[in-house]
Amino acid sequence: MAKKQKAGISPTAFEFLQKLGQHNNREWFNEHKGEFEEARQAMEVFAEALLQKMNEHDVLETPSGKNSLYRIYRDIRFSNDKTPYKTHWSGSFKRATKQRRGGYYFHIEHNNSFIGGGFWGPSADDLKLIRDDIAFDDTPVRKIITSKKFIKTFGELEGEQLKTAPKGFPNDHPAIDLLRYKQFLLRRRFSDEEVLSPGFLEEADKTFQAMRPFFDYMSEVLSSDGNGV
């Protein structure tokens, strides 16, 4: 009878990444394809367990943990880095319907693991809705990102920002610090020891849950017509 895999991050999956980082070439990868398949299967178990936990408190379109995982093969066509493989495992979960906005993401890498989420590439129309709402009243979003739980979990809001005020907004607007954002990202970093601990699955799920107040705010803004309708 096959031994059932645990739902946490497998040391096997983690160790494979470290080996791959030292031998990032097709010859080595092909010779160790079996190790890759075993490691990927372990990550599928983790992703599926995480998805099941998340389905208890959110509605997601992602059908399975396996479907959430990104390919390990890099697109090197337009990159100066020609190494063929990523040295991390990653995946994402998509929230269901246009009324639930924001995406969930996990990234497992030696000395660079994190649970993240947010709005990576908002459209021009979405950015306008967000900025108009913040410009009108930034109190709701500031209450969220300055809460004790938010700061303890994520530290601060992350994401690429404009160097100057966006078009249509004055440089001296009271909320200019928020209006400059082009991305709205939340990230909680984990040490290698934390990633490999028995409680990581639970902590990953808790981290995603901690994003909900911010997601709920954004969902309300982005599902309206700018006039609250």
Question: Can you list the domains of the chain with their CATH numbers?
Answer: 11-222 (3.30.930)
Q: What is the pLDDT of residues 70-80, one digit of tens each?
A: 999 998 888 88
Does residue 168 carry a pLDDT above 70?
Answer: yes
Q: What is the model's pLDDT at position 1? A: 39
CB 126 within 8 A of CB 149: no
Mean pLDDT computed over 207-228: 87
- Asked if residues 104 and 54 have their Cβ atoms less than 8 Å apart, the reply is yes
Mean pLDDT, the chain, integer: 93
pLDDT of residue 5: 52
Query: For residues 31 and 22, what is the distance between their CA atoms, to the nearest angstrom?
Result: 14
Listing DSSP states for 86-112 in one string gives: -SSEEEEEEBSSTTS--EEEEEE-TT-
Full-model pTM: 0.91
Residue 3 has pLDDT above 50, yes or no: no
pLDDT score, position 225: 60
Model confidence pLDDT, tens digit, residues 116-167: 999 999 999 999 999 999 999 999 999 999 999 999 999 999 999 999 999 9
- Looking at per-residue confidence, does 81 or 179 come out higher? 179
